[in-house]
Structure 1
Amino acid sequence: MRFFPWGNRSVTPELTLEQGRRLDSLRALRPREDLDIREGRMVVVDVETTGLNMQKDRVLSIGAVTIEHGAIDLGQCFECTLRREALPGASTLIHGLGPEALADGDEPSDALLAFLDYLGESPLLAFHADFDQRMLTRAFKEDLGYSFQHPFLDIAELAPLLHPDALPPRAGLDDWIAYFGLGVGQRHHASADALVSAELVLMLFNHARRWGTQRYAELGDQCRHWRRSCSAPGF
């Protein structure tokens, strides 16, 4: 099959003609932040990677869960493993993706196109969102030549913002899972982490509405203010 470079980029991934057409159709997406958290569609995402170096490590799998009309829609879930060369290291013990699973994964460009199609115009939430956002942004640039612009809301900031006396500000996902008594069958698996994160989001959204906050963008503004206050001297 013949391959075609797509778009005007300094490093241009080679895409098939069909992949290029799919990407062009998805470029028209306009990510939204002006959503009512009671009704709008949002996506909770988690990625597993080769490691924690945001400059060098790579995305291995993506798990995502849709929240819409104030509930988790289990009919709208996403999961994929990207075909990567297996790298030896301790990270395999965490994400559990061995050489066979990675060899059987989806071609990275196809996997990312499928995720972008699933995502649509929906904004995202993730626990420690900066990591997921930066890793996905790199993957989209390297494997598709696409500038990923979807907004993220950090659950790790949203939780202590709404429950300031519950746990220390830097508490991890496991701490919040235990605090709210959420059941989780598996951790460090993209889909399972996305699902339990979505359950946590719903509990936080209920609290936000009691505060009088109804919109995704408002929560983003409040998280940015919380982040600045945490960096202030004496915090």
Structure 2
Amino acid sequence: MNMPWFKRRGPILELEQLQRRDQLVPPAALDLCPLDVQRMVVLDLETSGLDMRRDIVLSIGAVVIERGGIQLGDQYESTLLRRAQKVSESVLIHGIAPSELEAGEDPAEALLDLMEFIGDSPILAFHAGFDQRMLTRALKQTLGYKLRHPFIDIAEVAPMLCPDNRPRQNGLDDWCSHFGLQVLQRHHASADALATAELALILFSKARRQGVDSLEAMSQRLANWRKRQQAQFM
């Protein structure tokens, strides 16, 4: 029987959870691995709101891109245990019932499972800054773990690669509609992760035709693109 492990600071975890946390593999650095070989994890979080300092993660969806395709048999999905969660406007949008949150998975177990699923792979997300900050805070508060994985923002990749052929708005729905992708369910973590992965594959095909064939090259080009975007408003 595992006994709780008490620390003066940080979350209270059981010994087995501490061991799992300490065995998590560090992220691999972005390199020149070709896009059609690279393993990537596409992540989406549903949260109680948009305040990155106060709101919390309610559900997580993730899917793997590897060998140039979406590995439908390699997905992660979890609704976290959140007792007495208020039914906010955000909760109504993503449709997670209070009963689902009451029956959710222990947050420490869910986040350990997620990080084991991610492994050392880079993470893709749409509006990745939000997901990165929310996940970083959740991991720190729940596990005492510091997230170091590199994130690639598909919401930046899309307009960078399609400057002259893009929708008026820069939302996930807008880009999916632009490329004729069918999204069966929105504001659901797993469905949004899958839609983001499908969009990413289209964009990676465009990237290769533009001479960008690795996430390292993508990251470098994004950095230059951001500088040009900032210069336009100076």
Report the TM-score when normalising by structure 2. 0.94
- CA offset at residue 29 of structure 1? 2.4
Which segment drifts farther, 178-187 or 164-173?
Answer: 164-173
Residue pair 2:64, 2:72 contacting (<8 A) in 1 also: yes
Q: Which runs of 4+ in 1 moved over 3 A?
A: none
Aligned-pair identity in percent equals 50
Within-5 A mapping of 1:37-186: 37-85=35-83, 86-167=85-166, 171-186=170-185
Residue pair 1:5, 1:12 contacting (<8 A) in 2 also: no
CA distance, structure 1, for counterparts of residue 116 and residue 196 of structure 2: 22
Which segment drifts farther, 215-224 or 49-58?
Answer: 215-224
Q: How many residues align?
A: 231
CA distance, structure 1, for counterparts of residue 210 and residue 22 of structure 2: 41
CA distance, structure 2, for counterparts of residue 71 and residue 169 of structure 1: 28
Helix, strand or coil: the match of 1:153?
strand
- What are the ranges of 5 or more consecutive residues in structure 2 without an aligned counterpart? none
Helix, strand or coil: the match of 1:92?
helix
Helix, strand or coil: the match of 2:117?
helix
Residue pair 1:31, 1:149 contacting (<8 A) in 2 also: no
Residue pair 2:167, 2:178 contacting (<8 A) in 1 also: no
- What are the ranges of 5 or more consecutive residues in structure 1 without an aligned counterpart? none
Matched, 1:21 2:7: no
CA distance, structure 2, for counterparts of residue 46 and residue 221 of structure 1: 24
Report the TM-score when normalising by structure 1. 0.94
Give the aligned residue type for 2:30: E
- CA offset at residue 80 of structure 1? 0.5
- CA offset at residue 168 of structure 1? 5.6
Helix, strand or coil: the match of 1:231?
helix
Residue pair 1:160, 1:169 contacting (<8 A) in 2 also: no
Helix, strand or coil: the match of 1:79?
strand
Equivalent residue in structure 2 for 1:30, among 27, 32, 35? 27
Residue 5 of structure 1 is matched in structure 2 by 6
Helix, strand or coil: the match of 1:171?
coil
Residue 191 of structure 1 is matched in structure 2 by 190
Residue pair 1:48, 1:190 contacting (<8 A) in 2 also: yes
